[in-house]
Structure 1
Amino acid sequence: MENYFNRTEKNLIFLFGRTDFLEKTDAIADIEKHKVYLDDHQKNELNNIGSLYDFDNIIIADSHLNSIYALNADTAFLKQFTRTKADSLKELNKDFVYYDASIYDHVGHPVLLYIIPLHSQKDPLHPGGFIVIKEHFSKFQRILYERTGMGTTGESYLVASDKRMRSVSRFFPDSLPLNIHVNSEAVQNVFKEEGRHILQDYRNIKVLSAYRKLNFDLPWAIISEIDYQEAVKPINQLKNYIIAITVVLIIVILIVTYFISNAISNPILYLKDIIMSLSKGVIPGFSIKSKGNDEIAQITEATRQLVEGTKRTTEFAHQTGAGNFEATFTTLSDKDTLGLALLSMRDKIKMLQEREVRLVREKASALLEGQENERKRFVRELHDGIGQLLTVVKLRLDAMEAKDKEKQEEKQEVLDLVNNTIGEVRRISYNVMPSVLVDFGLEAGLRGLCDNVKKYSRLNIEFTYIKETDKPLNFEVSVPVFRIVQEGLNNIIKHAKATDVFLDVMEQDDYLYLKLKDNGIGFDKADVIKKGGFGLTSMNERAKLLNGELHIESIQGEGTITELEIPINRD
């Protein structure tokens, strides 16, 4: 009911507050001097509002509440209303007024008016006219007739402060509301406070009554009542139902208790067998299933998680024992002692293995470093010892004079032999430790190696070196890479029966890639490794020392491809 009044008030203030209505206000205020006319559009507007909201009448009146325009001729009540209320309405400083004009209806029907003052620009403090809207009481009656939960004797009705009804009585439908005088205890209290009580209604019948004053500017209250006997009838029926249900429940509980005791004991015995197996170190091989969400099911689920966790722990231990230190493992909780111990053991074993690998690499690196140092010493001795002696022999032979032709030929043969010996010493010296590698770096060393191989073999070698950085390559990297290429070329010369070789190198700031390809007969890699091929082993060891990867792919009859990828740290 209150929602309807509030919604109607907001809508009407909005509709009649528009400019096309307000612009008539000054003319209405000055009605004695000007004749006010409503155009067809405004009349249609009023008709539409009346139809939309189902109002009984809409009247535009001047400041003395004289009718200027009305939707219908039912304005007699306004004449009675004018004589008593026109002056008092002028003094009201409100945008919307509710007024109970029931006493001015000559028949005795309830009359509710909505009055909207129209303020003129000439006198903004006092209204220059009024819009008077007569409400259809049938709408209130429809709201009150919604008797959900009120039974056959319940009703809701409106009563004013004059203790007369403003809605049709359910029990006296032929009587006019204003002719029904309500002097019950509910009406005596409702305009003081709201309440809910058992009392006598206006028929002098015992009822359950709930009442409160409506929350808007009318001295009206709404009272809802139902006969006491009808109200307590469901309670008495419910009492009887409860007694019958209680008896049935006791019987059902006794039966259910018997089955529940069996349903509880069987899962507990089942869990006991599983836990006994776990206590002996035996992991159940069957799947543990839990049903429901009760405590037994939760214990079963916890046991299942324990078994699954034990399985994962066992599998993780097997993986760790097999050397798979990258296997993932999730502990049962932050306080899983066994799981945390296994993770700690895995980390320690992994650390020990890494330390062992590092020591092996350090030993291999030291061994290779010793080899390189020995080669440097050997090259120096060749150069300083045998090389110089051969040079002296050549110089002495050049200084000797042969007396006849035969001696001259012998001298020349010896000189050729000495020159060949010097060349062989130089070749051996280059293979052992090329000076160009030491002096000019990897690119020059590999180029010299390719030239030297082409000179002493029938191989056609195409060498490409792409350098995408200006930073020099460390000698500790250049030497192992050179040895890997040198070993690969030696293998091609000895075993591949190739005619063409392609060597491609790409050097970047942090990365070096090398590819050595031939068109030889290829080989079975597994067979070579099985026979303990020292060359491949040496190449792999040198690649590992550089934290690189060496890939050799060989197809018999199609040749061999050797690829080397190593990271470079130039710090």
Structure 2
Amino acid sequence: MSRPIDQILVVIIAVVAVLLFLAILFLVMVMYHSSRRKQMAREKLRIQEQYEKQLLESRLEIQQQTFHFISQEIHDNVGQILSLAKVELNILQQQLNGNGELVVSVRDNVGKAMTELREIAKSLNHDQAQHFNWQENLREEINRINKSGVLSAGLILEGEEECYLKDQQKLITFRVVQEGIQNILKHAKASSLLVNIYQSKEYTNIMIIDNGIGFDPDAALNGHSGLGLKNILNRVALIGGVAEINSNTGKGTCLRINIGHA
């Protein structure tokens, strides 16, 4: 009697062992497929991020080429036309025996326009901007805004005097701050803005603050109106930085940018 029982036990043990093996095999297969899916998802995300980075780099390159073209056009064509107009106004004033007060006013305004256009052309030129002190360029931008009387603009520089940003980082940082200021001028309905820059050997921190009408950042980023904001975030990410937008309706906006010095 013991022999058949032993055989039954052996069969039961064998069946249990097979079932256990199949269960383990099933779990291993599930874990393997799950791991593969996660790996494929990560790879897909990596490829997508790489594609977006390359696309942004291409856009920036095209934009810089466009800026360079506009800069040359301002310098070569518009500047020459204004120079000729100024010469003609000088001749007209001489013909009027110095009595043309309106001519003098127009001539002075043409001179101011020429100066402004030269500054704009200089800031748009890629090669020039790489060698500029971007903070001084920004100071000039702030001065232009204050001269226009559109709103009151301020600039605070803190921390290290030496700039540790690379040339490409300087250029893109300058463009990002420019775009942030332009967004305020176009949309914020603000009476004042402040740009605060803190530099250390490890990082550069920038805050652009306004007292305007504010907005919902999430809604803007998810809609068509947020293209400018997305461009800012993408540009900052491209140079290894992080940008954060804090805003509430009726309470103004603060754009924070932090760029590490790798």
Normalising by structure 1, report the TM-score.
Answer: 0.40
1:563 corresponds, among 249, 256, 259, to 256
Q: Rg larger in 1 or in 2? A: 1
Q: Tell which deviates more after alignment, 387-396 or 534-543.
A: 387-396
Letter in 2 for 1:561: C
Aligned to 1:392: 84
Aligned counterparts of 1:559 and 1:516: Cα–Cα separation in 2: 11
Quote the offset at 1:357 in angstroms: 4.0
1:394 deviation in Å? 1.4
Q: Matched residues in 1 for 2:6 and 2:190: separation?
A: 86
| 5+ long unaligned stretches in structure 1 | 1-253, 275-299, 326-349
Partner of 2:234: 541
Measure how far apart 1:363 and its partner are. Answer: 4.3
- Does residue 318 in structure 1 map to residue 11 in structure 2? no
User: 1:11 is matched with which residue?
Assistant: none
Deviates most, 507-516 or 419-428: 419-428
Percent identity between the aligned chains? 23
Q: Spell out the pairing of 1:356-505 with structure 2 (5 A cutoff).
A: 357-358=49-50, 360-400=52-92, 401-403=94-96, 408-409=100-101, 411-412=103-104, 414-415=106-107, 418-419=110-111, 421-422=113-114, 425-426=117-118, 428-429=120-121, 432-433=124-125, 437-468=129-160, 470=162, 473-505=165-197
Give runs of aligned pairs for residues 237-248 of structure 1, distance below 5 A.
none
Residue type of the alignment partner of 1:375: F
Structure 1 residue 511 and structure 2 residue 203: aligned? yes
Kept after mapping to 2: 8 A contact 1:441/1:473: no
Residue type of the alignment partner of 1:493: L
- Deviation of 1:404 after TM superposition, in Å, equals 7.8
- Figure out how many residues of one structure are paired with residues of the other and give that number: 260
> What whole-Å deviation, never above 9, does each CA across 1:26-55 have from its counterpart, x for those lacking one?
xxxxxxxxxxxxxxxxxxxxxxxxxxxxxx
C-alpha separation between the residues in 2 aligned to 1:470 and 1:413? 42
What is the TM-score of this pair, normalised by structure 2? 0.79
Task: Note the residue ranges of structure 2 that are not aligned, 5 or more in a row.
Answer: none
Instruction: Please give the residue correspondences for 1:281-320 in structure 2 after superposition, counting only pairs within 5 Å.
Output: 300=20, 302-320=21-39
In the alignment, the residues of structure 2 paired with residue 506 and residue 414 of structure 1 have an alpha-carbon distance, to the nearest angstrom, of 42
Question: How far does residue 383 in structure 1 lie from its aligned partner after superposition?
Answer: 2.1
- Which amino acid in 2 is paired with 1:531? G
3-state secondary structure, aligned to 1:515: strand
Shift, 1:385, TM fit:
2.5
Q: Which has the higher contact order (CA 8 A, sep 6+)?
A: 2
Per the TM alignment, residue 421 of structure 1 is displaced from its structure 2 partner at its CA by 4.2
What displacement does 1:490 show?
0.9
- Aligned equivalents of 2:124 and 2:230: distance in 1? 19
AA matched with 1:497: K
Within 1, Cα distance between the matches of 2:152 and 2:64?
A: 29
